[in-house]
A and B are shown apart, each in its own frame.
Chain A
Amino acid sequence: MKEKGGKGTFLILEILSPAVAFLLALAMGAVLILSLAENPLHVYNVMFRGGLGSIDGLGYVFFSATPLILTGLAVAFAFRAGLFNIGGEGQLYMGAFFCAWIGFTFPSMPSTLMVPLCILFAALGGAIWGLVPGVLKARFGVHEVINTIMLNFVAMLTTNFLVNHVYKEPGQMIPQTKEIATTAWIPRMAPLLQRLHIQLPTSNPLNYSLLLALMIAALAWLLLFKTRLGYEIRAVGLSHKAAEYGGIKVGATMVLSMVISGSMAGLVGVNEVLGYRHRFLDGFSTGLGFTGIAVALLGRNHPLGVVLAAVLFGILNTGALEVDIFTDIPRELVMVLQAVIIICVVVGDQVFRRWVSRRLPLQPHAGFFH
Chain B
Amino acid sequence: MLLEMVDITKRFGSVLANDRVNLQVRQGEIHAIVGENGAGKSTLMKVLYGLVRPDSGTIRMRSREVRITDPGVATQLGIGMVHQHFMLIPQLTVAANLVLGMEPHGRLGTYDRRGAQQATKDLAQALGFQIAPEDLVGDLSVGARQRLEIMKVLYRGAQLIVLDEPTAVLTPQETGELFKTMRKLRESGKTIIFITHKLSEVMELTHRVSVMRHGRVVGVMETDQVTPDQLAEMMVGRPVLGQVDKDPFRPGPVVLEVRDLQAVDARGAPRLRGVHFSLRAGEILGIAGVEGNGQTELVEVLNGLHPATAGQVFLEGRQVLGESPRQIREESVAHIPEDRQNRGLLLDFSLSENAVLGLQHRSKFSRGWLRNRAIREHAEELVELFDIRTPDLEIAVRSLSGGNQQKLIAAREVQQDPRLLIAAQPTRGVDVGSVEFIHQQLANLRSRGKAILLVSADLEEILGLSDTIAVMFRGKIVGQFQADQADERTLGLLMMGQGVGDGPSDLGSREVPEGEVR
**Footprint of B on A, CB under 8 Å?**
1-6, 226-232, 234-235, 238-239, 241-249, 358, 361-367, 370
Q: Does B393 lie at the interface of the complex (its beta carbon under 8 Å from any beta carbon of A)? A: yes
Q: Does B255 lie at the interface of the complex (its beta carbon under 8 Å from any beta carbon of A)? A: no
A364–B13 alpha-carbon span in the complex (Å): 11
Count: A-B pairs, CB below 8 Å? 122
A243–B395 alpha-carbon span in the complex (Å): 19
Please pick, from B393, B396, B397, the residue contacting A2 in the complex, using a CB distance under 8 A.
B393
Q: Which of B158-166, B169-177, B348-356, B464-472 contacts A (4 or more CB under 8 A)?
A: B348-356
Shortest CB distance B498–A (Å): 35
* B391 in contact with A3 (CB, 8 Å): yes
Shortest CB distance A107–B (Å): 39
Given A5-B13, A361-B13, A364-B399, 4 more A-B residue pairs with CB atoms under 8 Å apart are A1-B390, A234-B349, A241-B343, A242-B344
* A242 in contact with B13 (CB, 8 Å): no
A6–B357 alpha-carbon span in the complex (Å): 23
- Chain B residues 281 to 310 lying within 8 A of chain A, measured CB to CB, are 303, 305
Shortest CB distance B214–A (Å): 12
A364 CB contacts on chain B under 8 angstroms = 395-396, 398-399
> Which residue of chain B is the closest to A8 with respect to CB atoms?
B13
Shortest CB distance B207–A (Å): 35
A247 CB contacts on chain B under 8 angstroms = 324-326, 329, 358, 361
B343 CB contacts on chain A under 8 angstroms = 241-242, 245
- Chain B residues 356 to 398 lying within 8 A of chain A, measured CB to CB, are 357-358, 360-361, 365-366, 368-370, 372, 380, 383-384, 387-398
B392 CB contacts on chain A under 8 angstroms = 2-6
* B349 in contact with A5 (CB, 8 Å): no
Please pick, from B339, B346, B390, the residue contacting A238 in the complex, using a CB distance under 8 A.
B346
A5 CB contacts on chain B under 8 angstroms = 13-14, 391-392
> What are some 26 contacts across the A-B interface (CB < 8 A)?
A1-B391, A2-B390, A3-B392, A228-B360, A228-B366, A228-B370, A230-B370, A235-B346, A235-B357, A239-B347, A241-B342, A242-B342, A245-B343, A245-B358, A246-B325, A247-B358, A247-B361, A361-B11, A361-B13, A363-B391, A364-B395, A364-B398, A364-B399, A365-B396, A366-B397, A370-B372
Shortest CB distance B485–A (Å): 35
* B349 in contact with A2 (CB, 8 Å): no
Most buried by A among B13, B53, B351: B13
> Which residue of chain B is the closest to A228 with respect to CB atoms?
B366
Known A-B contacts A364-B398, A365-B395; A228 and B348 likewise in contact (beta carbons under 8 Å): no
A229 CB contacts on chain B under 8 angstroms = 368
* B12 in contact with A227 (CB, 8 Å): no
* A365 in contact with B394 (CB, 8 Å): yes
A1 CB contacts on chain B under 8 angstroms = 383-384, 387-391
A247–B53 alpha-carbon span in the complex (Å): 41
Q: Does B345 lie at the interface of the complex (its beta carbon under 8 Å from any beta carbon of A)? A: yes
* A227 in contact with B14 (CB, 8 Å): no
Q: Does B335 lie at the interface of the complex (its beta carbon under 8 Å from any beta carbon of A)? A: yes
* A6 in contact with B394 (CB, 8 Å): yes
B53 CB contacts on chain A under 8 angstroms = 358
A249 CB contacts on chain B under 8 angstroms = 324, 326
Most buried by B among A1, A227, A362: A1
> Which residue of chain A is the closest to B383 with respect to CB atoms?
A1
> Which residue of chain A is the closest to B328 with respect to CB atoms?
A247
Q: Does B475 lie at the interface of the complex (its beta carbon under 8 Å from any beta carbon of A)? A: no
* B353 in contact with A231 (CB, 8 Å): yes
Most buried by A among B11, B346, B349: B346
* B396 in contact with A244 (CB, 8 Å): no
A238 CB contacts on chain B under 8 angstroms = 346-349
Q: Does B337 lie at the interface of the complex (its beta carbon under 8 Å from any beta carbon of A)? A: yes
* A228 in contact with B395 (CB, 8 Å): no
Contact residues on B (Cβ < 8 Å of other chain), bracket: 35 or more
A248 CB contacts on chain B under 8 angstroms = 326
Please pick, from B335, B346, B368, B393, the residue contacting A239 in the complex, using a CB distance under 8 A.
B346
A227 CB contacts on chain B under 8 angstroms = 366, 368-370
A362 CB contacts on chain B under 8 angstroms = 13
A244–B388 alpha-carbon span in the complex (Å): 25
Shortest CB distance B62–A (Å): 28
* B394 in contact with A245 (CB, 8 Å): no
> Which residue of chain A is the closest to B387 with respect to CB atoms?
A1
> Which residue of chain A is the closest to B380 with respect to CB atoms?
A2
A345–B65 alpha-carbon span in the complex (Å): 40
Shortest CB distance B341–A (Å): 9
Shortest CB distance A7–B (Å): 9
> Which residue of chain A is the closest to B55 with respect to CB atoms?
A361
* B335 in contact with A245 (CB, 8 Å): yes
A242 CB contacts on chain B under 8 angstroms = 342-346, 357
> Which residue of chain B is the closest to A9 with respect to CB atoms?
B13
* A228 in contact with B358 (CB, 8 Å): no
* B366 in contact with A231 (CB, 8 Å): yes
A245 CB contacts on chain B under 8 angstroms = 303, 305, 325, 335, 337, 343-344, 357-358
B394 CB contacts on chain A under 8 angstroms = 6, 365-366
A4 CB contacts on chain B under 8 angstroms = 392
* B395 in contact with A231 (CB, 8 Å): no
A249–B323 alpha-carbon span in the complex (Å): 12
A358–B337 alpha-carbon span in the complex (Å): 34
Shortest CB distance B443–A (Å): 25
A2 CB contacts on chain B under 8 angstroms = 380, 383, 390-393
* B360 in contact with A246 (CB, 8 Å): yes
Shortest CB distance B353–A (Å): 6
Shortest CB distance B296–A (Å): 12
A228 CB contacts on chain B under 8 angstroms = 360-361, 365-366, 368-370
Please pick, from B303, B339, B342, B348, the residue contacting A366 in the complex, using a CB distance under 8 A.
B348
A53–B329 alpha-carbon span in the complex (Å): 60
A60–B383 alpha-carbon span in the complex (Å): 52
A367–B347 alpha-carbon span in the complex (Å): 11
B351 CB contacts on chain A under 8 angstroms = 366
A366–B394 alpha-carbon span in the complex (Å): 6
User: Chain B 12-25, CB within 8 Å of chain A: the 1/0 string?
Assistant: 11100000000000
* B350 in contact with A366 (CB, 8 Å): yes
A94–B225 alpha-carbon span in the complex (Å): 78
Please pick, from A230, A246, A366, the residue contacting B358 in the complex, using a CB distance under 8 A.
A246
Shortest CB distance A109–B (Å): 33
A242–B238 alpha-carbon span in the complex (Å): 36
B353 CB contacts on chain A under 8 angstroms = 231, 366
* B305 in contact with A244 (CB, 8 Å): yes
A244 CB contacts on chain B under 8 angstroms = 305, 325
A5–B335 alpha-carbon span in the complex (Å): 32
B337 CB contacts on chain A under 8 angstroms = 245
B387 CB contacts on chain A under 8 angstroms = 1
- Pick the 3 closest A-B CB pairs, nearest first: A247-B326, A366-B350, A228-B366
A271–B369 alpha-carbon span in the complex (Å): 30
A367 CB contacts on chain B under 8 angstroms = 348-350
Shortest CB distance A130–B (Å): 22
A230–B366 alpha-carbon span in the complex (Å): 11
Most buried by B among A227, A238, A245, A364: A245
B347 CB contacts on chain A under 8 angstroms = 238-239
B305 CB contacts on chain A under 8 angstroms = 244-245
A3–B350 alpha-carbon span in the complex (Å): 14
* B357 in contact with A246 (CB, 8 Å): yes
Shortest CB distance A47–B (Å): 38
A3–B353 alpha-carbon span in the complex (Å): 17
Shortest CB distance A13–B (Å): 13
Shortest CB distance A233–B (Å): 12
Shortest CB distance A230–B (Å): 8
